[in-house]
Amino acid sequence: MTHGLLELKEYRPLLDEILQSGGVLRIYPHGISMLPFLREGRDSVDLGKAESIIPGDIVLYTTKTGKYLLHRVLRVKDGNLDICGDNQCLADRMVGVDQVAAKVVCVYRDDIRFDPKTPSYVAYVDGIIRHPILHSLKIFLMHRIGLTAKMN
């Protein structure tokens, strides 16, 4: 019996079954696209069924090339989503809701649980979705001066 790291793409049927049963699946995101909010090796998230999606939600979705990404929804319009990593300047636009596999229902930082209603979480998310252009500009400038590496 082993506990192992799994590729979501391969295990999508199992993820769907868990979510359909009303369950959640804990995953450990990797990469830097959601810094400083999600840090590889420190944070994990519970994925739940994406019954409703509003700006600020973090969703697991598939790109048109079939890649799975865990990024934040910036805008919802006409059934399509603009989605962007917190550490990215350019959003993935016109993502269909059918491309969304799940959404983050809570975040664990060093095993302390935060749900999306936590005041500090709400304040952080508000700063991004109310001023997406300002946020993009900030990230762009941070990348230009090489701050991303320090955030790692």
Q: Tell me the three-class secondary structure of 29-74, residue by residue.
A: CCCCCCCCCCCCCCEEEEEECCCCCCCCCEEEEECCCCCEEEEEEE
Q: How many Cβ atoms from other residues are within 10 Å of residue 34's Cβ? A: 24
Q: How far is the C-alpha of 75 from the C-alpha of 19, rounded, in Å?
A: 24
Q: How far is the CB of 42 from another protein (least distance, A)?
A: 16
Mention every residue, 6+ apart, whose C-beta is less than 8 A from residue 108: 26, 43, 44, 45, 46, 114
Q: How many Cβ atoms from other residues are within 10 Å of residue 123's Cβ? A: 9
Measured from the CB atom, the residue of 10 and 98 that comes closer to another protein is 10
**Quick check: 9 binds another protein (CB under 8 A)?**
no
**Quick check: 40 binds another protein (CB under 8 A)?**
no
Measured from the CB atom, the residue of 11 and 140 that comes closer to another protein is 11
**Quick check: 117 binds another protein (CB under 8 A)?**
no
How, if at all, do strands 43-48 and 25-27 pair? Answer: antiparallel
**Quick check: 43 binds another protein (CB under 8 A)?**
no
Contact letters for another protein, residues 18-37 (x by CB under 8 A) = x--xxxxxx-----------
Radius of gyration, alpha carbons of the chain? 15
Measured from the CB atom, the residue of 21 and 52 that comes closer to another protein is 21
Q: How far is the CB of 66 from another protein (least distance, A)?
A: 16
**Quick check: 14 binds another protein (CB under 8 A)?**
yes
**Quick check: 109 binds another protein (CB under 8 A)?**
no
Contact residues for another protein (CB under 8 A)? 1-4, 6, 10-11, 13-14, 17-18, 21-26
